């Protein structure tokens, strides 16, 4: 994507240069110059839009017109991550980065643990491989899921496998802790695994020599599922628009520091069309 885009840009730049320089002030040449300028603006805008498309593009243009490389962030996890994805995508795109939501409702775990989580993990690994091949992410962000059911050893092994997969794909790995959520009868028997998952993830990050980052979201969400800070939807598990936007702002800032880009102001993305995403209606958010 970068090569043809740059080539096209250069071609028009060269053309404009030879047309304009000798006759810069001549009225006879104002119209061609204006046309050339218009062409330049059009192509630049097209280039910027194409860069923001995210499907294989690696460039974007910032407000000052300078071209820069945008990072590609692949977002994976379960439906909790899915509810956070719309504003995260909006925030990163507004910041000139690229985003793909590969979260899974009712799955998404990479932990090859017990008989319930193993089939989910198999699907998640298959999907991840496809996304690595098609999206070529610079950052893989895995939010620990509510299905990371397994022993601490199984959790560590799975996160290490994910780290190795990311490394092989040339991507950084962020292991993002899950927000606190209501442990109902469905989750009760997995409470131990849900508690041990972030510890296992932190251990893997600590042992990675800086290649894996453990992103502790406790400062954002707190630890109490029913607390105001957790901003859970009526189901006690997912977040609604406001909570998801808070996460998007918080995590985009962190990604910006990590990857050297300036996050866009929330005014630019926080009230966009993503707020009408169907999943929030499913969650009875309004």
Partner 1 sequence: MAHSPPAPTAPAPAMHRRPRPGRAPGRAHLAPLDGLRGLAVAAVLLFHAGYLGGGFLGVDLFFVLSGFLITGLLLGEVQRRGRIALPAFWGRRARRLLPALAAMGTAALLLAWAAGPPSLLGFALDDAPWAAAQVVNWHFIAEQVGYFNASDTRLFSHLWSIGVEWQFYLVWPLVVAVAGRGRGGPRRVALLAGAGALGSLWLMVQLGGTVDTTRAYEGTDTRAFALLLGAVAATAPVRRPADRVPRPVADGVCALLVCGLAASWVLTGGQNAPGLFRGGLFAHSLAAAVLIALLAAAPGGHTGRALGSAVPRRLGELSYSLYLWHWPVFLLLPQKVFGIGGWARAVLAIGLSLVAAVLSKLLVEDPVRFGARWATGRRGLAALLAAAVVAAGVWAAIPRPHPGAGTVDVQRLMSP
- Site residues, partner 1 (CB under 8 A): 78-80, 87, 105-107, 116, 119-120, 146-147, 181, 185-186, 235, 237-238, 240-242, 245-246, 249, 266-267, 270-271, 274-286
Secondary structure of 103-163 as H, E, C letters: CCCCCCCCCCCCCCHHHHHHHHHHHHHHHHHHHCCCEEEEECCCCCCCCHHHHHHHHHHHH
Least separation in angstroms between residue 132's CB and partner 1 is 24
Q: Running DSSP on this structure, what letter comes out for residue 262?
A: P
Among 257, 262, 73, residue whose Cα is nearest residue 173: 73
CA nearest to 70, candidates 60, 85, 62: 60
> Based on CB atoms, which residue is closest to partner 1, 31 or 228?
228
- Residue closer to partner 1 (CB basis): 214 or 274: 274
Q: Give least dist CB 115 to partner 1, A.
A: 9
H and E: helices and strands count for the chain:
10, 7
Q: What minimum distance in Å lies between the beta carbon of 276 and partner 1? A: 4
Which residue lies nearer to partner 1 by CB, 141 or 178?
178
Query: Virtual CA dihedral for 175, 176, 177, 183, nearest 10 degrees?
Result: -110
| Nearer of residues 97 and 233 to partner 1, judged by Cβ | 233
Nearest approach in angstroms of CB 280 to partner 1 is: 6
169's enclosing H/E stretch is none
- For 166, other C-beta atoms within 10 Å of its C-beta total 23
Q: Shortest approach of partner 1 to residue 239 CB, angstroms?
A: 11
Task: Judge contact between 212 and 175, C-beta under 8 A.
Answer: yes
* Cβ distance to partner 1 smaller for residue 191 or 235: 235
């Amino acid at each position: 994507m970068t090569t043809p885009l740059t080539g096209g840009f250069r071609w028009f730049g060269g053309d404009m240069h030879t047309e304009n320089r000798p006759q810069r002030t001549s009225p006879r040449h104002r119209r061609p110059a204006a046309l050339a300028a218009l062409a330049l603006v059009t192509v630049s805008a097209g280039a910027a839009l194409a860069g923001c498309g995210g499907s294989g593009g690696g460039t974007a243009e910032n407000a000052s017109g300078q071209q820069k490389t945008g990072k590609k962030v692949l977002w994976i996890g379960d439906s909790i991550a899915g509810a956070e994805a719309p504003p995260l995508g909006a925030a990163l795109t507004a910041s000139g980065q690229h985003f793909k939501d590969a979260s899974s409702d009712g799955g998404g775990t990479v932990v090859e643990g017990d008989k319930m989580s193993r089939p989910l993990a198999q699907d998640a690994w298959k999907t991840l491989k496809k996304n690595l091949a098609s999206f070529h992410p610079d950052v893989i962000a895995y939010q620990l899921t509510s299905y990371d059911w397994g022993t601490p050893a199984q959790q560590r092994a799975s996160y290490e496998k994910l780290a190795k997969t990311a490394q092989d794909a040339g991507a950084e790995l962020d292991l993002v802790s899950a927000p606190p959520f209501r442990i109902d009868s469905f989750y009760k028997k997995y409470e131990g695994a849900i508690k041990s998952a972030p510890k296992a993830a932190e251990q893997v990050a600590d042992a990675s020599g800086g290649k894996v980052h453990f992103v502790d979201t406790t400062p954002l969400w707190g630890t109490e599922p029913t607390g105001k800070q957790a901003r859970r939807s009526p189901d006690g598990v997912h977040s609604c628009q406001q909570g998801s936007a808070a996460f998007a702002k918080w995590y985009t800032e962190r990604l910006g520091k990590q990857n050297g880009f300036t996050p866009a102001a929330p005014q630019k993305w926080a009230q966009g069309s993503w707020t009408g995403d169907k999943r929030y209606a499913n969650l009875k958010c309004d």
